[in-house]
Amino acid sequence: MDASTSNASTSNASEHGHIPVMRDRIAELLAPALEQEDAVLMDATLGAGGHSEYLLHTFPTVRILGVDRDARALSEARERLSVFGDRFHAIQCRFDEAHETLKEESHPIAEIVLDQGLAGSLFDLGVSSMQLDQVERGFAYRTDAPLDMRMDPTKGITAADVLNTYSHGDLARVLKTYGDERFAGKIASAVLKEREKEPFSTSARLVELLYDTIPAATRRTGGHPAKRTFQALRVEVNRELEAIELALPNTAAMTRCGGRMVVMSYQSLEDRLVKKFFGQLCASKTPPGLPVDLPGTAPEWVAITRGAEKASAAEIEENPRAAPVRVRAIERTSASTDTSQNDPKKAFRDEGHHG
């Protein structure tokens, strides 16, 4: 990668108000896969298109399939990446639905994936910087906005719906499970009491309730009192963990030999799912105690990262949003003996296949 490429991408990123997290390391992890012939990367969380733009600059022959459920994000990313012509193609869907949506696409990039499989995939999980910066979406707790939080504003329930309709038990479960909130039950009780007076509609009222409900000692030492609740609501509204659980095996089935999967997680629940799934792919299925792998039981994947990699102190100082990131990467090293799991055409065009 030469300095001009890096400088150009830095300039473009700053113009869009977004610096892709760990972009150099992500490019390094994907390089052996993206330098292959007819390489297609699936950017499963396209967002503002920052990682895709950098990778298209860095690897002159790579093609990218961008996936996002957010129509506004897709529109802006398509405009931003239009300079790359037919090397970039975007589809609107949740990333766990990409393998099905591809069947309906006639674009050359989709055909390459269907015929040869993916050379690489990148998941940058959670809410994007662009979405956080769009105040009206309700993702951020520091400004008053409608309690929406849907990544696709045309589908599903809103955060306000969760607060106004869930039972005490269901709301406490969401806050505890997805936000690791110590005071989940207490917050749920306060929400049910307040919604009897008036339904929740804006973030400021919820933040005020959280300030009143969470003890002062915890507020002084535990960061912003709304952080965990807002995270939990967002995960529930967008069914994020369910999407990850479905997307990872679907994407693994789409990946060709020599292909790589890279996942960036920002919370422990996400990282735990990724760690477990990657561990299963990279583990031998031979019973313990045998000196060699039995036929058909050797792992088809190998870990590229040792554990989860973190951003450097220097990058965190430059880009604070990199602080919580955890990066894991694996590479497919052999073909499955089960051809239904390895043949891309069969895997994607068979209507009964779900990864």
Binding residue positions: 49-51, 68, 95, 124, 131
Distance CA 90, CA 7 (A): 25
Give the contacts of 20 (CB within 8 A, at least 6 positions apart): 13, 26, 50, 51, 54, 124
96 burial type by CB count under 10 A (0-12 exposed, 13-18 middle, 19+ buried): buried
Annotated binding site for S-adenosyl-L-methionine: 49-51, 68, 95, 124, 131
Q: What are phi and psi of 338, to 5 degrees?
A: -90, 100
**3-class DSSP state of 272:** helix
How far CA 207 is from CA of 75, 131, 138, 249, 347, in Å, comes to: 32, 19, 12, 37, 46
Burial class for 55, CB neighbours closer than 10 Å (0-12, 13-18, 19+)? buried
SS3 state at 329:
strand
With a CB cutoff of 8 Å and minimum separation 6, the contacts of 66 are: 43, 46, 49, 52, 74, 77, 81, 88, 89, 90, 91
Following DSSP, what letter does each residue of 1-58 receive, concatenated?
Answer: --HHHHHHHHHHHHHTT-PPTTHHHHHHHHHHHHTSTT-EEEETT-TTSHHHHHHHHH
User: Other C-beta atoms within 10 Å of 243: how many?
Assistant: 19
Alpha helix (H) ranges present in 182-226? 184-197, 203-213, 216-221
**Burial, 221: exposed, middle or buried (Cβ in 10 Å; 0-12, 13-18, 19+)?**
exposed
What are the tokens at 133?
């910066």
What values do phi and psi take at 67, rounded to 5? -125, 130
Beta 326-332 vs 301-303: how paired, if at all? antiparallel
User: Please, which residues bridge with residue 120 across strands?
Assistant: 41, 260
